[in-house]
Structure formats: C-alpha cells, structure tokens
Amino acid sequence: MEEIIKIKDLKKHFGTLDVLKGVDITLHKGEVLTIIGSSGSGKSTLLRCVDLLERPTSGNIYYHDEDILAQGFDVNHFRSRVNMVFQNFNLFNNLNVLDNCIIGQTKVKKRSKEEAREIAIKNLTKVGMKDFINAKVTKLSGGQKQRVAIARALSMDPEVILFDEPTSALDPEMVYEVLKVIKDLASEGMTMIIVTHEMNFAKEVSDRVIFMDNGVIAEEGTAKEIFEAPKNERTRQFLAGFKA
C-alpha cells in the first residue's frame, strides 16, 4: 500500500516538558488510524505536529517521501491536502455555513465561486447540513458545527483528514451524529488519523489502533488486537477504565 505520511522518531518538548519522546508512525492510503490514550499522553500534540500547527523539536515527517520540515517545503499546499478537524470546531465566525465551506476552495484552491459553491453544497448535503447553508455558525449546536467543519475539510478534497478529538466538546446526544459522518467517510475509503476517547467507535472504524502512553507508542495493532487482546499492561489498565 502507498505510504502517505511517515513519521520518524518525532520528539516535541514544551520547555522542560517532554510531550513526545520519539514516535514512529506510517500512514497508508485508505487507512483509518486511531490514536487512543489518556489525557496528556501526547496524542493531540502528535496530530498537531503532523499539520505543522506545532513545530516538532526533532525527528522527521515525510509526506509522499518529501520532508515537510525542510526549509522551502510548501507548507500551505501540504495543509490544503491534509486537513484538520478540531475539537472546538473552529468554524470561521465571520462567515455563514456555506461560506465556511467555500472560502478555502476559492482562496487556496483557486476554484471559481460557482464550482466552490457546488462542491460545498454537495458536502454539506453529505453531512446532513444542507438546510443550514445560510445559517450563522454561532447559531448552530455543537454537533452541527462539527458536521460543518467536516464538510469544510471535505470541500478541499483532502488526501488525509486529521480528527483531533472531534466529539470531546459535544453533549452526549450529539456524539452519534458526528461519529456516523466519520464512519461514512471511513467506508468510502478516506484516509484518516483520528484521536478519540470513543472506544466503541475506535473499535468499529479503525484499521489500526495506536495506544499512546506518556509520549511514546505503547502498543500498536489492529482494532481486534488492541481491544480484545492487548499485550501491554498499560493498555489493559487504560481500556479497563472505560469498561468500568
């Protein structure tokens, strides 16, 4: 399978705090990779390093064999291909729902307004938000916001979508609607890295699961391996916490 992103010995310090202590991950085309682990284990930081929202302290990240940390690498083009969906949605407050999904297409991908509008409506329909295209984003519920954020990412025709705890800021009854959208994407073959605390979802959707603990990958395997027969003691403890 084609390798899209390859992370090698990635380290990140914030001051004296070692958040990532050497992480290696390879993401293949069409793969759904979920990262689980307790808070502070470095999951989100790892994802943010991949999108270069954090600059790694050391290590390498390759995108189709190109070093994204090298001087002169076209970061903006890379980010237009690898989009992030945030825990707090981060929809643009100055734009309505439709324009949130259009502006990246017209400004970054230089699509015409008509084409961008068509693509935006197609994706908003897909996430079930077509009826809200003229709504202000501040008027939406959390689940609706996150679905718009997903439509915004999809409108860029990304090669990879990075989900940073997409349901952690949601009320419980809204988690399902967002997870369903992500599952649909998975079944369509979208390549994704998902940081999540939803264990049942992770079990269902993942091709591969990584359990992170204290800045390193403690265990890695298929969903079946990790959830049904974890080898690492820390993984077992962590998962036991969710069953209780």
11, 60, 62, 103: which one contacts another protein (CB under 8 A)?
A: 103
Under rule CB under 8 A, residue 44 binds another protein: no
CB of 140 to another protein, least distance (A): 12
Q: How many chain residues touch another protein (CB under 8 A)?
A: 37
Q: Footprint of another protein on residues 150-189 (CB under 8 A)? A: 152-153, 156
For another protein, which stretch binds (CB under 8 A), given 94-102, 125-133, 167-175, 216-224? 94-102
Mask of contacts with another protein, 45-74, x by CB under 8 A?
A: ------x-x-x---------------x---
In angstroms, rounded to a whole number, what is the distance separating the alpha carbons of residues 169 and 192?
A: 20
The encoded tokens of residue 60 equal: 């390498």
For another protein, which stretch binds (CB under 8 A), given 16-24, 87-95, 121-129, 186-194? 87-95
What is the SS3 assignment for the chain?
A: CCEEEEEEEEEEEECCEEEEEEEEEEEECCCEEEEECCCCCCHHHHHHHHCCCCCCCEEEEEECCEECCCCCCCHHHHHHHEEEECCCCCCCCCCEHHHHHHHHHHHCCCCCHHHHHHHHHHHHHHCCCHHHCCCEHHHCCHHHHHHHHHHHHHCCCCCEEEEECCCCCCCHHHHHHHHHHHHHHHHCCCEEEEECCCHHHHHHHCCEEEEEECCEEEEEECHHHHHHCCCCHHHHHHHHHHHC
CB of 55 to another protein, least distance (A): 6
In angstroms, rounded to a whole number, what is the distance separating the alpha carbons of residues 7 and 62?
A: 6
CB of 162 to another protein, least distance (A): 8
CB of 201 to another protein, least distance (A): 22
The encoded tokens of residue 71 equal: 């001087």
9, 66, 67, 94: which one contacts another protein (CB under 8 A)?
A: 94
CB of 157 to another protein, least distance (A): 12
Mask of contacts with another protein, 127-156, x by CB under 8 A?
A: -------x-x------------x--xx--x
The encoded tokens of residue 96 equal: 């309505």
CB of 135 to another protein, least distance (A): 9
Query: Which CB atom, from 55 or from 243, has the smaller least distance to another protein?
Result: 55
Residue with tokens 């940081």: 195
Positions touching another protein (CB under 8 A) are 51, 53, 55, 71, 76-81, 83-84, 86, 88-96, 99, 102-104, 106-109, 113, 134, 136, 149, 152-153, 156
